Structure 1
Amino acid sequence: MSFGSSSLGDEVDKKLIVVLRDGKKFIGTMRTFDQFANIVLQDTIERVYVGDCYSDKSLGVFFIRGDNVVILGEIDPDKEVQEKRLQKVSWDEIQKLYELEKQKKEEEEQLKRKIMTDSGLTIDSILNIDEF
């Protein structure tokens, strides 16, 4: 990947990771793109990370709308194999771990909301602050 006046044209035929607005991560070889930054990946996998575990799901050829892309970057093939600190698990297992993590985050968020409400702080009270 070049720095400075970089364009998507520099990334064609390279293995990339693409992170979307919803947090999903896709890895594949970029084959083409258009003026809207829509991307076509070949040999695509969806990779999910939970804690120190990860899993891959093969998707084949995949089209990604450019307006959903947050970041994309080239993957160094030599360093990709060095994911020894992460444990690869099955797709079903990572989905269960993901759901548990999601549930835990929701419970933490509810607790934060309750603490704020009990303290008299709510979104409505913050948004209705009178200006001086």
Structure 2
Amino acid sequence: MMENLHEPPQPGPSQLAGPMAQGLGRGAPPQPQQLPPQMFTTAAQLLDLTDKKLLVCLRDGRKLTGVLRSWDQFANLVLQSTIERIYATTSDPAETQPKGLYADQSHGIFLVRGENVLLLGEIDLDKDDDPPPGFEKAEFGVVEKLAKERRAVERAKEKNKLKKLATLGFEGENMGEILL
């Protein structure tokens, strides 16, 4: 006889020797149907994404694409043929609109700790070869330099904003670092 492992077994007549058989119970309420335990773990959700090309956005802002080859219960990922893509914009006074640039750097096999993953999703292979809309491919060194300059400007703005807030009596995260 085959049993369904997802439904609780139904008691037979010989198993009703407790309060039900003595007439003390009015019948147990129906048990809610239980989902398989793997439905509750994030790592098990990766099973469908194994051997597929993914975009992984990390907490530090990096964007990686690669084929998911392995993972564990902590959602640590092993990506094969990994490429890091960086984006930057140029502010040329001759142009009315900033120009977007991107560059790719190959990393090969890449191990990503699960706690660093901000977002991940499957890549549409039909659109994978198309450049991002509004961006042109450029040399990695040029784009990396522009991106670093942009981050430095943003950090300086954030530091100034936090200093102004501190003078108004607001305290937030990392305020000790700003004031030192």
TM range, smaller chain:
0.7 to 0.9
Structure with max Cα Rg: 2
TM-score between the two structures when normalised by the length of structure 2: 0.59
Paired residue secondary structure (2:127): helix
Q: 2 CA distance for matches of 1:49 and 1:113?
A: 26
What corresponds to 2:83 in structure 1?
A: 45
Q: 1 CA distance for matches of 2:50 and 2:155?
A: 39
Read off the aligned partner of 2:118 and give its amino acid letter.
Answer: V
Instruction: Quickly say closer, same or farther: Cα 1:7–1:24, change in 2 above 3 A.
Output: same
**Structure 1 unaligned residues grouped into runs of 5+:** 125-132
By how many angstroms is 1:122 displaced?
3.6
Q: How many residues align?
A: 119
Q: 2:117 aligns with which of 62, 69, 78?
A: 69
Paired residue secondary structure (2:61): coil
The structure carrying a bigger helix percent of its residues is 1
By how many angstroms is 1:104 displaced?
1.2
Paired residue secondary structure (2:60): coil
The structure carrying a bigger strand percent of its residues is 1
**Relative to structure 2, which stretch is displaced further, 15-24 or 103-112?**
103-112
> Does the 8 Å CA contact 2:81/2:106 hold for their aligned counterparts?
yes
**Structure 2 unaligned residues grouped into runs of 5+:** 1-38, 90-99, 173-180
TM-score between the two structures when normalised by the length of structure 1: 0.79
Larger RCO, structures 1/2 (Cα 8 Å, 6+ apart): 1
Kindly provide the CA deviation profile for residues 49-108 of structure 1, in whole angstroms up to 9, marking residues without a partner as x. 223221111001111111211111001022221524211111111121012101211221
Paired residue secondary structure (2:57): strand
What corresponds to 2:164 in structure 1?
A: 115
**Relative to structure 2, which stretch is displaced further, 106-115 or 83-92?**
106-115
Cα RMSD (Å)? 2.0
